[in-house]
Copies of this chain bind each other. A is one copy, B any other.
Amino acid sequence: MRSRPAPTSRPVSGGPDAASEKLGFRPLYAQVRDRFVQRLVEGAWQPGQMLPSELDLAAEIGVSQGTVRKALDALASERLLVRRQGRGTFVAEHDEARILFQFFKLRRDSGERSFPESRILASGRVPARADEREALALAAGDEVVRIERIRLLSGEPVLVETLSLPATIFGTLAADEVPNNLYGLYATRFGVTVSRAREKLKAVALGEEDAAALGVAAGTPALLIDRLALSLEGTPVEWRVSRCLTEDHHYLSDLG
């Protein structure tokens, strides 16, 4: 686990050494965590796969079980792994349940939540606009896959959204293969795991087109959600701007 001296058979007995020579100090369990993340990024550990037991991992790396445990617990709290007592530790999957819980904050006012169905309005690979280049950190001349769709809850249209994806990653995405659960597709087809996102919310008046698509009058107030989704490595992989009707729905945010 240390970065400099060649590990002998039983390397670590106290704390870190190479790390403490520098000013920065990175605990052993954090280094182990990073090593595990690397395996996820490389795809050595696939979604749904069961990891070796804590003791096996500890023996392989040459640290104690407790240190491996801290690393695995950290990754579980980041929702990259799922731990189940008696069964094992697994790589998290982007199934609908997880998306619904982690990334979909819109609820019926009654409190129930359901996964929205989607209807594609337009889709294609086009040169990135300036705002798309800025959001996704692209260079001039880069392309994006741009998707416009409408989403319905219980059959009612509640939002229209525009998605912009870097063509360098998603260039081969065809319009007719856009599923309801996009993040699952990103993972299985492109090996990209969306691990977190930041959303900026505003209130706006709907324009003519959006209003028509949603079947309401132009000028109707709508919740604007500007989402930037980041991969495991922290690079932006999706920019999504949604305009939502909030007559019967709300965005739920838990603080604290």
Chain A residues packing against B (C-beta within 8 Å)? 78-79, 102-103, 105, 194-205, 219, 221-224, 226-227, 244, 246, 249-256
Contact = CB atoms under 8 A, between A and B. Distances in A.
Interface centre among A105, A205, A227, A253 (most CB of B within 10 A): A253
Contact of A199 (B78, B195, B205, B252): B252
Contact of A196 (B200, B201, B204, B255): B255
Contacts of A205: 221
A256 B222 contact: no
B253 A253 contact: yes
B246 A199 contact: no
Given A79-B256, A102-B255, A256-B103, A203 B200 contact: no
B79 A197 contact: no
* A contact face: mostly helix, strand, loop, or mixed: strand
A246 B200 CA distance: 11
6 contacts: A102-B256, A197-B254, A200-B252, A201-B252, A203-B223, A204-B221
Given A204-B221, A221-B221, A199 B102 contact: no
B253 A198 contact: yes
Contacts of A249: 202
A255 B222 contact: no
A250 B198 contact: no
A198 B255 CA distance: 6
Contacts of A227: 255
Interface centre among A204, A254, A255 (most CB of B within 10 A): A255
A253 B223 CA distance: 14
Contacts of A244: 203
